[in-house]
A and B are shown apart, each in its own frame.
Chain A
């Protein structure tokens, strides 16, 4: 079976599944404008993400996709617009608030803790769930020890799920690129997020690695019911796995809808292929 049919087979098997219900709007971005000095990275972008869906954000280079994710998890504060998350209207999102309320993400250029082992990276992703006091941690007794073991069990499940057991004690700086991407996904999953933001999860991967990553993304969505927003340049992947696609170009929203609708949209075709003048 060649690569494309395999991916499609996986998707087809998944799509009709009755368990996978797409629910209410979980996060809504409204009229967001983000400026860096005179540069407008985003101008008046609005879209929503529904619970349980896989939402793709696509667009040519410099379209503002990563800026959009940075706005959603509070790393950039937009000058205008608002974000509604779980019914709560926020002028600005803060990273700590986002993390606490179930928004996790991975980065375009891997941002792992390179000096730490895979396991420690994943455990760090879970740190907001741990509540032992300083004193308990100093003595490694009581709740501190109990939590280490409890959360280790959870992290081991994720490590198992993403098939990185063999590397759990390896410093992540030594792992190959594809595995590092996977560890980063594991770290994000350790927080049990409601929304997972993936910034180019498949950049720089070969076909096999991409297939693996697709499978993991679909499995995460299926088994944990995690809502996923992803940025991706591989159109085959985007069209295959996402439920809805939003297209950005020069910081503006160009199109929004199902993969098929977006694919047929003339503006999108023009943005990607160029227009003759």
Chain B
């Protein structure tokens, strides 16, 4: 089927403002949803679900959060790891202190708590911008990880400093955390949860709040003259962003790994998420997913691909080649399109509309 808009007339602004205004897109997203819900759990084995799809969705959530702050509001942050740690430890404390609280509520409350922390560490953004702000957010990164490591209260005085997610069910009988949780349940829960929150993020960025953030990003002086309060816009972006990142941290600790220590949220984690949104596309919801997919999936695919070609190959060589190809691909994609995979996808769609008769 050709990608054509011809004949699809919009007769109302509501139709024109839909998230997927073009019919082919609607069909494609419907198919993707069907494959994700029905196809993946049926076809993928446990290993693939546990090591690819679950971390992909968790990272997509973190990338979504950072993209709201950096991509939409233009505030560079290197505190992602710290905020993920907040989400993880907040939900651990909540889940152990109130065992009867539903796990989704625990996640959301942990997100709200992280949002508060994010606002606090976002205060410097009112005075400083760009790289200087990134350096200021490093304070959040180091302080938070140090705090969770230092004070035993956060881990309920566990001697190793590791927290283990208590078993919790999302619906009666369906465990998503703990040892009884199956990979399919985890995957489907994450899929629905992340998709819903992505929809909320999309709604925010296409409404007044999103335009406020983008206005601050693009030209803060003009935004102020229009009547936008920079203080409010920046801090709200920090809050929403940290909310998402906090939930991602909670999902990481509870659903993905099951047990985690504060050092899992070191600065490398921040860089990893930052690279995801740079490669995926700043200021794009789709880009957050594409970037997470690129960074999470590609190394595993390369690894498995090489082993499939030559099973006798040594694992050291595999990981070396993997690093080289992975690095080269990052450079390649950034040269082809500095605005990320989401932009590349958009260009492809524009070309497809004129194909095979471009002018």
B314 at interface (Cβ–Cβ under 8 A)? no
Contact surface of A with B, Cβ cutoff 8 Å: 73, 75, 95-96, 98-100, 104-105, 107, 111-116, 120, 123-125, 127-128, 130, 132, 134, 137-140, 144-145, 147-149, 152-153, 156, 187, 191
Is B203 touching A113 in the complex (CB atoms < 8 A)? Answer: no
Is A124 touching B226 in the complex (CB atoms < 8 A)? Answer: yes
By a CB distance below 8 angstroms, the chain A residues around B204 are 137-138
Q: A253: shortest Cβ distance to chain B, in Å?
A: 24
Is B13 touching A149 in the complex (CB atoms < 8 A)? Answer: yes
Report the bound CA distance from A166 to B185 in whole Å: 48
B46 at interface (Cβ–Cβ under 8 A)? no
Which of A98, A111, A130 meets B208, CB within 8 Å?
Answer: A130
Which residues of B, 199-241, contact A by the 8 Å Cβ criterion? 200, 203-204, 206-209, 211-212, 214-215, 217-219, 221-229
Is A111 touching B222 in the complex (CB atoms < 8 A)? Answer: yes
Which residues of B, 3-25, contact A by the 8 Å Cβ criterion? 12-14, 17
Minimum CB distance partner of B219 in chain A: A111
Is B221 touching A134 in the complex (CB atoms < 8 A)? Answer: no
By a CB distance below 8 angstroms, the chain B residues around A96 are 224, 227, 229
Q: B84: shortest Cβ distance to chain A, in Å?
A: 22
- Known pairs A100-B227, A104-B226, A137-B207 / 6 extra A-B pairs, C-beta < 8 Å: A112-B222, A127-B208, A127-B212, A139-B200, A148-B17, A153-B13
Minimum CB distance partner of A123 in chain B: B211
B111 at interface (Cβ–Cβ under 8 A)? no
Q: A24: shortest Cβ distance to chain B, in Å?
A: 25
- Known contacts: A73-B225, A125-B226, A127-B226. The answer to whether A148 contacts B207 by CB under 8 A is yes
Contact surface of B with A, Cβ cutoff 8 Å: 12-14, 17, 200, 203-204, 206-209, 211-212, 214-215, 217-219, 221-229, 283
- Known contacts: A127-B212, A149-B14. The answer to whether A99 contacts B206 by CB under 8 A is no
Q: A93: shortest Cβ distance to chain B, in Å?
A: 11
Report the bound CA distance from A152 to B229 in whole Å: 22
By a CB distance below 8 angstroms, the chain A residues around B207 are 132, 137, 140, 144, 148
Is B226 touching A191 in the complex (CB atoms < 8 A)? Answer: yes
Minimum CB distance partner of B222 in chain A: A111
Q: B5: shortest Cβ distance to chain A, in Å?
A: 12
By a CB distance below 8 angstroms, the chain A residues around B12 are 149
Report the bound CA distance from A137 to B221 in whole Å: 25
- Enumerate 9 A-B pairs (CB-CB under 8 Å) in ascending A order: A73-B225, A104-B225, A105-B225, A124-B214, A137-B203, A138-B204, A140-B206, A140-B207, A148-B17
- Known contacts: A111-B221, A120-B214, A128-B226. The answer to whether A138 contacts B13 by CB under 8 A is no
Q: A156: shortest Cβ distance to chain B, in Å?
A: 8
- Known contacts: A95-B225, A96-B227, A191-B226. The answer to whether A137 contacts B208 by CB under 8 A is yes
Q: B213: shortest Cβ distance to chain A, in Å?
A: 10
- Known contacts: A125-B226, A152-B13, A153-B13. The answer to whether A115 contacts B208 by CB under 8 A is no
Report the bound CA distance from A134 to B200 in whole Å: 11
Is B224 touching A113 in the complex (CB atoms < 8 A)? Answer: no
Q: A233: shortest Cβ distance to chain B, in Å?
A: 22
The 6 closest A-B pairs by CB, nearest first: A99-B227, A113-B218, A111-B222, A137-B207, A140-B203, A128-B227
Report the bound CA distance from A138 to B203 in whole Å: 5
Report the bound CA distance from A23 to B307 in whole Å: 83
Is A137 touching B209 in the complex (CB atoms < 8 A)? Answer: yes
Minimum CB distance partner of A151 in chain B: B208
By a CB distance below 8 angstroms, the chain B residues around A99 are 225-227
Report the bound CA distance from A139 to B14 in whole Å: 15
Q: B247: shortest Cβ distance to chain A, in Å?
A: 14
Minimum CB distance partner of A99 in chain B: B227
Is A114 touching B218 in the complex (CB atoms < 8 A)? Answer: yes
Q: A74: shortest Cβ distance to chain B, in Å?
A: 8
Name the residue among B206, B211, B212, B226 with the largest chain A CB count within 10 angstroms. B226
By a CB distance below 8 angstroms, the chain B residues around A120 are 211, 214
Is A113 touching B215 in the complex (CB atoms < 8 A)? Answer: yes
Q: A9: shortest Cβ distance to chain B, in Å?
A: 35
Is A145 touching B14 in the complex (CB atoms < 8 A)? Answer: yes
